[in-house]
Amino acid sequence: MYDEAIQRILKRQKNFPPIKFESKYLTDLVNNFRSDNPKTVILTGTAGDGKTFYCREIWQSLATQDDLWDSSKKIQSLSLGNKQLVVVKDLSELNSIEKIDLLKKVAEAIVNPDTAEVYLLAANDGQLVEAWVEAGNESSVQFVRKKIEDLLYFDQREIAEVHLYLYNLSRLNAAKIFPRILNAIIEHPGWNECSSCPYSNPSDFRLRCPIVENRSRLEGNPIENIFKSRLVDLLELCDLNGMHIPVRQMLLMIANALLGHPEVKDRLMTCEDIPNILDKGKASLASIYRNFFGENLSERRRESTDVFSILGRFGIGNESSNRIDNTLIFGEDDPDLRPYYEKLMLTDSYYGADANYQRLQRAYLEGALPDDEEAFLNLLRDQRQRLFFQIPKDLASEMQLWQLTAFQYAGEFLENIYRALQRSERIKMPLINRLVKGLNRIFTGLLVKNQDKLILATSGSYSQARISRVFEEFISVTKNRGESVSIDLDANTGNPILVVSLSNNVAKISMTLNLTRYEYIMRVAEGALPNSFSRECYEDILAFKTRILRQLFVRRRSEQEEESSENCIVLRLINELDSDGMVHNPHVLEINI
């Protein structure tokens, strides 16, 4: 319905070109339908991923002049040479009888390549699964339902035996689409109208329109755009943590970032609001850095909007380090911090240390009234959000940029793990060693420091016990007789995975290394307690250990290595660590039966 509404608006605003950007699968899909033997296509995805948009675009690429796209029709078709293409732009618009009738035909087309019809069907996957369940028990329907479930569950696009492509638009990488959307908006010809506006480029910068200011910040420096690259970082981390942001949400986020202001109607500025805002000196509330997190909206609205709730999990604004807060608060007078204060605060007099900030800062240092104090603390929040996007690259590690987020190791994870893997670089050994140290602490429940071998231990009774003292095996981190611990990219999902190999003859064990797990393991390696820092990650990693142990037993069986015999039991217990916190080859206990 969104797509339809947008088309209607476009028709009214004849001179206003639509915001358009390249869509990834479009060419592939059109080519499929142009081929001699087209396959049926099911498009799934979250609301706002662009399913209707794809249907319309595909239709328009294939249509002759007579075939007009009619958004009011639930099912429409056009001829593709010897076949008929049937397009259903939203399965949920059909009533249940229509649905059952349609799916039976779709099942037939998927099973049998010689049918006269080929389908393009869009639905979100929940409705899709539900509709197939309702479609009855005919063998072809059941068969196709199972195949579709498999495709969805294993996240695949095609599968043997069936004449079908399943495109899951939720698998589109937000970080990759975002720059395209951003450019389409920033470079839209509509902005030309601003050039004649007096607020566009006044002599006094304080009278500059915040919308224009926001756009120019977003546009940034063409050589190095830190703002954009940090935004892409955040979106990439969302992708890596399995938090999907649909296209519609990204459009919404950018629009809100440009126009947000908490004190105007609908909390979004229009040109008419500008004089009033500037008059009252409230331009700083339109800060694009706040708006990206939906700070202009009410808390309720912010939490119920997917994109802001997802970005909110980074805690940007609430998280900080002493270094940054000291600069923000004491930087003006502290000779050591002054250079940073100048560079980070004074250079930005529009959204940074403006007159209001400096007044409240002084009041705060001299012992402010409660109201002023609260106002200043709120400003600090705004400034941390701004700094996250503005700290220059060369200062990022010195200022510990990622401490401004809830994920201190996010930068390292993104740059040295994910992007390194994408560039086909080897992961640096010290990183793997730290990961292994964290894993060892979780696996044994002891504060061990071993980092070049993975320690496999059990409690003898419960493989997921908190403390595991029964030593089973050391696994070498560097490649050694088939043993290794490495980080790779998963061929199917493209996400980093931690891979443990026990032997060339035993299946490797892998676990997706998402942002949260990486943060968890690293924090444990630095001293956090495995069980108190994150229950969820703790359970995940213990389950991973269970899977490794299972393969270890497979290896033992295949190699027939069994130390115990009929009249003697051999046991190795980890009873003590040495003074460096290391576990060495544990003492062997032999018991005669």
Q: Is 593 in the site for other proteins (CB under 8 A)?
A: yes
DSSP letters, 389-417, are HHS-HHHHTTTTGGGGSS-TTHHHIIIII
Exposed/middle/buried for 343, CB within 10 Å: 0-12, 13-18, 19+?
middle
- Told to check if 575 binds other proteins by CB under 8 A, we report yes
Structural contact between residues 313 and 304, judged by C-beta atoms closer than 8 angstroms: no
The residues facing 592 across adjacent strands are 568
592 sits near other proteins (criterion: CB under 8 A): yes
First to last CA, the chain: 76
**At closest approach, how far in Å is the CB of 346 from other proteins?**
41
591 lies in the site for other proteins, by CB under 8 A: yes
Which of 126, 190, 281, 392 is close enough to bind other proteins by CB under 8 A? 126
The verdict on 573 binding other proteins (CB under 8 A) reads yes
Candidates 5, 355, 365, 569: give the one binding other proteins (CB under 8 A): 569
Cα–Cα dist 440/525, whole Å: 9
20 makes contact with other proteins (CB under 8 A): no
Selected binder of other proteins within 17, 81, 190, 242 (CB under 8 A):
242
Does residue number 375 form part of the binding site for other proteins (CB under 8 A)? no
Question: Which among 473, 484, 501 is positioned nearest to 561, based on CA atoms?
Answer: 473
Q: Report which secondary-structure segment, H or E, holds 132.
A: helix 125-134
CB burial string 283-317: b at 16+ within 10 A, e below: bbbbbbbbbbbbbbbeeeebeebbbbebbbbbebb
The tokens describing 367, both together, are 């012992």
Cα gap 560→228, rounded to integer Å:
57
Question: Are 568 and 592 within 8 A, CB to CB?
Answer: yes
Q: Looking at this protein, which amino acid is placed at residue 519?
A: E
Name which of residues 430 to 459 contact other proteins (CB under 8 A).
Answer: 458-459
Regarding 503 and contact with other proteins (CB under 8 A), the answer is no
Interacting span for other proteins (CB under 8 A) from 119-127, 264-272, 357-365, 411-419: 119-127
Cβ of residue 230: shortest distance to other proteins, in angstroms?
26
- CA atoms of 250 and 185, how far apart (whole Å): 11
Q: Which positions from 160 to 189 touch other proteins by CB under 8 A, shown as an x/- string?
A: --------x-x-------------------
- Contacts for 71 with CB less than 8 Å, ≥ 6 apart: 3, 4, 7, 56, 89
Q: Are strands 117-122 and 40-44 parallel, antiparallel or unpaired?
A: parallel
Contact with other proteins (CB under 8 A) among 291, 327, 463, 501: 463
Using CB under 8 A as the binding rule, whether residue 334 contacts other proteins is answered as: no
Stretch that binds other proteins, among 121-129, 320-328, 333-341, 491-499 (CB under 8 A): 121-129
CB of 518 to other proteins, least distance (A): 16
Give the number of residues in contact with other proteins, rule: CB under 8 A.
Answer: 49
Residue 377 CA to residue 314 CA, distance in Å, equals: 19
2 lies in the binding site for other proteins (CB under 8 A): no
Query: Applying CB under 8 A, which part among 78-86, 147-155, 183-191, 332-340 lies near other proteins?
Result: 147-155
Task: Tell whether residue 158 is a contact of other proteins (CB under 8 A).
Answer: no
Please report whether residue 152 would count as binding other proteins according to CB under 8 A.
yes
**Residue 125 touching other proteins (CB under 8 A):** yes
Stretch near other proteins under the rule CB under 8 A, chosen from 268-276, 376-384, 491-499, 564-572: 564-572
**Would you tell me the crossing angle of helices 174-186 and 247-259 to the nearest 10 degrees?**
40
- Contact track, other proteins, 520-559, x by CB under 8 A: ---------------xx--xx--x--xx-xx--x------
Q: Which residues bind other proteins (CB under 8 A)?
A: 44-47, 124-129, 152-153, 155, 168, 170, 242, 244, 458-465, 467, 469-470, 535-536, 539-540, 543, 546-547, 549-550, 553, 564, 569, 571, 573, 575, 587, 589-593
